[in-house]
Structure 1
């Protein structure tokens, strides 16, 4: 059976490097399931692989969209599975990498047949957001589905809209709606997770934000101001800087918020992965050696 090796872990932990080394070892290609790296104009703030890294191994689903495009998780599932099946015609192994938990789940298990957005619900949620702020949306979701609230991107109103809308429509929590595997895949999955002590993760995140700023994150975000209300840009690293450009926050405060919100995202990733049972964990300091040793016993 063909094998998909899925590399997961928190933001900034070294997934890209590990994926490239594994792909080189097996002479194969990489599928990205990092939903923020799909967008061409967001290279710095999403830590898109460098030109050298992209040249080392063929990558797919990196910078294939514009921030002006709408791209759903359902579209990604369909296109990613098509690409994986295409790659399996010439490779026995394909590597996938990314920290977007739901996007990985969509490829591995398929998506549930969730209802389309309800117009009446969406208008009510828009009203709450505009009149009462995102905090009230967060409280609504926390009360309706505390389990999903632990790892959802709490600062992205569209994520909150979607979950609350589904709960209102179905009468079931969002967790219940998405928990069951929908599709049986005709390939074997081997998941490798990179782990590190939490203080190491947080330090790496802080250093990574500093490096992004050195590499031009401020200028990248400024160039995207005309698109700041687009869904792609409702994300850490950009929304905070837009508040700086709007003179709501100082630059130092915005930078600290980027670091804080990135650490919060890593915490949500850890919460999600702790509930998973089929992850082979490797140490961040020896991830390549441990992973290849593990894979040699399974392949």
Structure 2
């Protein structure tokens, strides 16, 4: 019954384009759900995971394996090199162009990923920031390397208390991005946020997967152990000579780099990967919980129930 309803929706009743956005913490099962939905609705998947873009980073980013990639067409998986400059602005443009082509074939498309900023870039659009002289970021990098993150956090608090209270302060990239806008423009970073953005020619249906915190943490720990068994250490060794690249300032790699440098034991580095992955999952949930229109499901929910919920939501939307 669900199958017939879904096909009718996809084939006949949809009067607009729909992007089904799957979000949730790392290791919760988003990839499996995205493939199941893509197969059911006969459509394709866009990845919004900012680290799965890079072809050199396969094991540590938990990117879809070959079997999963063959199960449904994917976009933005291993399409860039760590040596290429690729940011959220470029991704927004590329993803919208890809969606435009996908919607010519099917009025449903799937997007999956845990990078909240990249998801929002596609579904809502980016805030419009001024061009900043690169020397500002260079000076901030010097401070970070010499004195750590604390003085940068203190400076941000002085220049833009609103941003200081809302961003992930333990994320150096976020802190430096906000600071460089404050310094380079002479205006608070927060003054550029939430301005009117370009409208989208599709509607977004957001599906969230979640679980009790203990379950999420257990799944993360098990995934890290599996990554190590699959060869994460060897992958990190190959990437170590390029450790200064921003793309490699990533959980799963930066901890092993400290092991290679003799600062940590291997066991401690692996435990730090697990801890930092758990912290990342917590930040993901905090980000997505701020979005009101996400339909949340327990990670064990049968895919047929989620398909039925999507179908019913589209039918209600089309009937209104």
Indicate the residue corresponding to 2:130 in structure 1.
Answer: 115
Per-residue Cα deviation, 1:182-205 (whole angstroms, up to 9, x for no partner):
110011110000111111111111
2:77 to 49, 62, 71: 62
The unaligned stretches of length 5 or more in structure 1 are none
Query: Could you tell me which of 253, 262, 282 is aligned with 2:297?
Result: 282
- State which structure, 1 or 2, has the greater radius of gyration over its C-alpha atoms: 2
- How far apart are the structure 1 equivalents of 2:226 and 2:64? 14
Could you say if the C-alpha distance between residues 244 and 141 of structure 1 is closer, same or farther in structure 2, counting changes exceeding 3 Å?
farther
Residue 149 of structure 1 deviates from its aligned partner by: 6.1
Number of residues of Structure 1 aligned to a counterpart in Structure 2: 298
Contact 1:110 1:181 in 2 (8 A): no
Q: 1:194·1:284 contact (CA, 8 Å) conserved in 2? A: yes
Q: Deviations over 1:93-126 (max 9, x none)?
A: 0000000000011101111211223344324312
Structure 1 ranges of 4+ moved more than 6 A: none
TM-score (norm 2): 0.88
Q: CA 1:136 to 1:255, structure 2 compared with 1: closer, same or farther past 3 Å?
A: farther
Residue 225 of structure 1 and its aligned partner are, at CA, apart by 1.1
Residue 32 (str. 1) matches residue 69 (str. 2): no
1:154 aligns with 2:207: no
Q: Give yes or no for the alignment of 1:297 onto 2:312.
A: yes
**TM-score normalised per structure 1:** 0.93
Which position in structure 1 is the counterpart of 2:99? 84
Whether contact under 8 Å (2:208, 2:296) holds in the other structure is yes
In structure 2, the partner of 1:9 is 24
Equivalent in the alignment of 1:267: 282
Partner Cα separation in structure 2 for residue 287 and residue 70 of structure 1: 39
Q: Give, in whole Å, the separation in 1 of the partners of 2:290 and 2:164.
A: 12
* Shift in Å, 1:146: 6.2
Looking at structure 2, the residues matched to 36 and 19 of structure 1 have their Cα atoms a distance apart, in angstroms, of 18
Structure 1 match to 2:273: 258
Deviation at 1:134, TM superposition (A): 2.6
CA contact (8 A) 1:282 1:290 kept: no
Quick check: 2:162–2:190 contact (8 Å CA) kept in 1?
A: no
